[in-house]
Amino acid sequence: MSARSPVWHPFHQHGLEEDIPLVTHAEGAVLHTADGRRVIDAISSWWVTTHGHNHPAIMAAVREQTEKLDQLIFAGWTHEPAETLARALVEIMPDGLDHVFYSDSGSTAVEVALKMALGYWHNRGEARHRILVLEHSYHGDTIGAMSVGARGVFNRPYAPLLFDVGTVPFPAADPQPSLDALEAACAAGDVAAFIVEPLLLGAGGMLAYPPRVLAEMRAICARHGVLFIADEVMTGWGRTGTLLACEQAGVTPDILCLAKGLTGGSMPLAVTMATAPIFEAHYSTDRSKLFFHSSSFTANPIACAAAVANVRIWQEEPVLERVAVLSDTLGAVLAKLARRPDVTNPRQCGTMIAFDVAVGDDAGYLAEIGPQMRAHFFAHDVLIRPLGNTVYTMPPYCISQADTDRVAEVMASAIESCGTR
């Protein structure tokens, strides 16, 4: 866009005066801009688009719902899309997650989870208030979500607002120190909950760890009565190769956060699912024990209708087969890129592949190579936003082989153009 816009964009430094493309329409894994460019959406528009942009079934559900009910207060009122969606989620998610609380985004889903955990212990009359987190995690940009995320460039200006947490080291090649640290922290007796991104840490650098570690972390929490919160906002809906990442570890959390792919990426909506004990701790004739959280657009009927259509796609179409094929295809791409001497730490988790470009001491989220590579991708009609010197792709499941090949080509040329040997 050439004329100065009044829009203030997220995670964008306007002072660099980079071009901001105007997208007019999209389909599948492709975005179309006002100046006629065809851009491959190789990161699913920030990890939300699963089946593809403007999926016909989801768009039809949205259109139909707009003619029925656009918005409704959800405090003590309800509507059919919310009821249908809640029942469908209870059916397809792990057994025991029997209660569904609606909100608007991944950040708010995490806020709800934290408040549920603290409310659970408060209503039971037990002094557990400490939250444990995993090193390098990212859980959102609201105050509670930032508090349980890694401290650093994302939240440094807002540090006075953040509450203290206990941090468990990321489980690297030898996960035992991490497990020992979690065991020791849980044994202290004051821990309310442990929140994790299962198997894959997103904005913290696309860091992966194995299912057996996730299973052991869950077991440690269970031994000490610590609530286990799974933030599957990014990892859910097939990204790691299964509907939920927790499935690969045989884990059922006490509280589960879902957003992004909940509507197939079409509309903002989130849910926080909880087990019966969490709900029952708030269930009372005492109104002071109710769950004090809401927003104006909680369980918006149009967004819920989109999510119902998404669940039906999962129930009626071979989505996991598409996920498996894409995972294999991306694995081959990664294997080829990993042979380069300037590529380090190649990793894959389902439909996400990532690697680091060797840059010496200039690594991390603010590495200079990040904007350089982003500009290279944009110039070659590929939407990828590197996390500093970490390059990744996480495309919609419908991406064509030709577009996948093009993404691989541009990744290689970005390293050639911007990297160091």
CATH class of 58-316: alpha beta
Residue 30 carries which DSSP code? E
What's the whole-model pTM score? 0.97
pLDDT tens-digit readout, 208-234: 999 999 999 999 999 999 999 999 999
Pairing label, strands 191-196, 130-134:
parallel
Token couple for 25: 């329409």
Q: Where are the domains of the chain?
A: 58-316, 319-392
Cβ neighbours of residue 46 closer than 8 Å, sequence gap 6 or more: 260, 385
Res 404: pLDDT = 98
Residue with the two structure tokens 């071009």:
19
Q: Write out pLDDT tens, residues 48-90.
A: 999 999 999 999 999 999 999 999 999 999 999 999 999 999 9
The vertex-170 CA angle with 169 and 171, nearest 5°, equals: 110
Token duo for residue 70 = 């656009």
DSSP label of 317: S
| Top CATH class, 319-392 | alpha beta
pLDDT at 4: 86
Q: What is the mean pLDDT of residues 286-315?
A: 97
Average pLDDT, the chain: 97
pLDDT recorded at residue 113: 98
CA torsion 290→115→215→333, rounded to 10°?
120
Q: What angle do CA 14, 20, 23 make, to 5 degrees?
A: 145
pLDDT digits (tens, 9 = 90+) for 247-297: 999 999 999 999 999 999 999 999 999 999 999 999 999 999 999 999 999
